[in-house]
Amino acid sequence: MAVQNQSPKVIPTAAIAELCRALAPDRVLFKPEDLVVFEYDGTIERGQPQVVVLPDNTKEVAAAVRIARRYDLPVVPRGAGTGLSGGAVAAVGGVLIAMTRMRRILEVDVENQTALVEPGVVNLDLSKAVAKHGLYYAPDPSSQRACTLGGNVAENAGGPHCLAYGVTTNHVLGLEVVLADGEVMWLGGPVRDLPGYDLPGVVVGSEGTLCIVTKALLRLLSLPQSTRTLLAVFDSVEAATNAVSSIIGSGLVPAALEMIDKETIRALTALDVGYPADAGAVLLIEVDGLKEATSEDAAKVRRVCEQLGAGEIREATDPADREKLWAGRKAAISALGRLAPNYYVLDGVVPRTKLPAVMNAVMEVGARYGLPIANVFHAGDGNLHPNLLFDERAPGATAKVLAAGEEIMRICVDAGGSITGEHGVGLEKRDYLSWIFSEADIHAMQRLKAVFGAGEHFNPCKAFPTSKGCGEVHSSAIQAFGADAYV
């Protein structure tokens, strides 16, 4: 949706001077050549902040928030910038607070299986740090080598292994947050199911619109005794998606159940990850637990896939082979750059039993718009990720992609699903919120911003379609330059 700033007011030099005193001059960026790298996230959205600050600790975050409030400047929190809904884009300028310097693992409680971390810790680094204790952190977005835990909290991130273990909100016990007036407070605590309102649950998935997370107390899990990883090869996406429902219907909930189609496999051929080049689609299936249980579960997966027409079933023979199979899934979306200069990643959810029909409808949309679509997604929980391949330099290409994306989101909703499973609403899908919520529902959610004192001070124009002053943020670039412009 190619956002550009909507004529933000000029930031006072006094505000920049105060920020420099509160942090340090080398951690306050305001020159155009420094700001340009912060105008993107993982989407096709764009919006440049007026100033970027890089705090080292909670005290500096709170100071930056207070200064921004004093000068009536919006605040946008940012993690690694890997988000896929425009959540870290400064839609109307303001102060962007980049949390990447706050990357310390502050405490690991092995006995209670918790970790206290700062928001800039990279997701995978936490699992690496606690592996020596036989522990790991379960939510594993495909970008886990780069994405940060603060951003995961903001978007309620998922991942392949969230089918069995739940998404981010199921693993957050407590949060230290900075409110819109600069106050610092703790929500939740060291044990699950505390009495009272689930305030950490309110903040997880709030997309930076309520507060800024500066510490997170996370739940860790014990590494499984045994893991079995299988690759089932099918002639078509329809056959593979039929197998998905049958596997779950058999009473088995795998740790992960992922689907990769032939277009994505084509992009991965140069990586030699072990996916057959002539496959119509593959399912990557993982079961874990006790050794005896995983042996039975793997056998059940084999039987179901064979009954549903799998031409071949491969199983990882050692950790290196397992890592190779997963490397294909984790690198899939980035590998699409081999097929086209740009891709637009969608994120919808449908009931598992509707997967075959929905996938047929998605491909029909691609054919009608003349857009190749590569699919790689969390099939086990019906979380689709169609990737629309295009070249933004071609006149009208961006507008066409956005129109096709809207149709695909509508297909998901009409099938009884949702507009997002893990990427968030952000800028990308805020205008679709009314498809799944009533006006009263949306109003009730917006009132939370007032309760937290956030208003439009934190991450304005995100998540809600009626944010004040944000009515045309999505289409500003197309309106400014015309539908056939290079945006």
- The structural domains of the chain, ordered by start, are 105-222 (3.30.465.10), 226-414 (3.40.462.10)
Is the predicted pLDDT of residue 265 greater than 90, yes or no?
yes
Which of 361, 382, 383, 381 shows the shortest CA–CA distance to 373? Answer: 361
Is the predicted pLDDT of residue 474 greater than 90, yes or no?
no
Share above pLDDT 90 across residues of the chain, in percent, rounded to a whole number: 88
pLDDT (mean) for 310-330:
94
Distance, in Å, from the CA atom of 362 to the CA atom of 408, rounded to the nearest integer, reads 6
Position 318 scores a pLDDT of 93
Is the predicted pLDDT of residue 484 greater than 90, yes or no?
no
pLDDT band at 467 (very low <50, low <70, confident <90, very high): low
pLDDT band at 380 (very low <50, low <70, confident <90, very high): very high
pLDDT (mean) for 273-280:
94
pLDDT (mean) for 108-112:
97
Q: Which whole-number Å values give the CA distances from 325 to 231, 274, 282, in the listed order?
A: 8, 6, 11
- Encode burial over 187-212: b for 16+ CB neighbours within 10 A, e otherwise: bbeeeeeeeeeebbebbbbbbbbbbb
Position 290 scores a pLDDT of 95
Position 88 scores a pLDDT of 95
pLDDT band at 470 (very low <50, low <70, confident <90, very high): low
Residue type, 255: A
Count of CB atoms situated within 10 Å of the CB of 414:
13
pLDDT digits (tens, 9 = 90+) for 235-250: 999 999 999 999 999 9
Position 466 scores a pLDDT of 62
Position 7 scores a pLDDT of 54
Is the predicted pLDDT of residue 440 greater than 90, yes or no?
yes
- The dihedral region occupied by 326, where left means phi > 0, alpha psi between -120 and 50, and beta the remainder, is alpha
Is the predicted pLDDT of residue 24 greater than 70, yes or no?
yes
